[in-house]
Amino acid sequence: MTESSYSVSGMACGHCAEFVTEEIERVTGVTAVAVDVENGTVTVTSDRDLRLAEVRAAVEEAGYELGSR
């Protein structure tokens, strides 16, 4: 298992967290997603190393932007 944290900009509420969670959960290998709207972070647990491009695409599909961390 690997765990990675990312900065996500544009999230403001629980609905934002739901959208981001749903999209990241669709990435193959993801086993858990924890979103902290207040701090603008997402922690992703997966059973394989995820490519940054995969996570970025999922976050952008949800309508938000992956920042640098």
Give per-residue pLDDT as tens, 12-27. 999 999 999 999 999 9
Q: Are 24 and 44 in contact (CB under 8 A)?
A: yes
User: pTM for this structure?
Assistant: 0.92
Q: How confident is the model at residue 68 (pLDDT cuts 50, 70, 90)?
A: low
Question: What's residue 31's pLDDT?
Answer: 98
Q: How confident is the model at residue 67 (pLDDT cuts 50, 70, 90)?
A: confident
In a domain, 1, yes or no: no
Domain count, the chain: 1
Q: What is the CATH number of the domain that holds 62?
A: 3.30.70.100
Query: Residue 59: which domain range?
Result: 9-66
pLDDT tens digits, one per residue of 1-56: 999 999 999 999 999 999 999 999 999 999 999 999 999 999 999 999 999 999 99
Q: Tell me the C-alpha distance between 11 and 64, whole Å.
A: 7
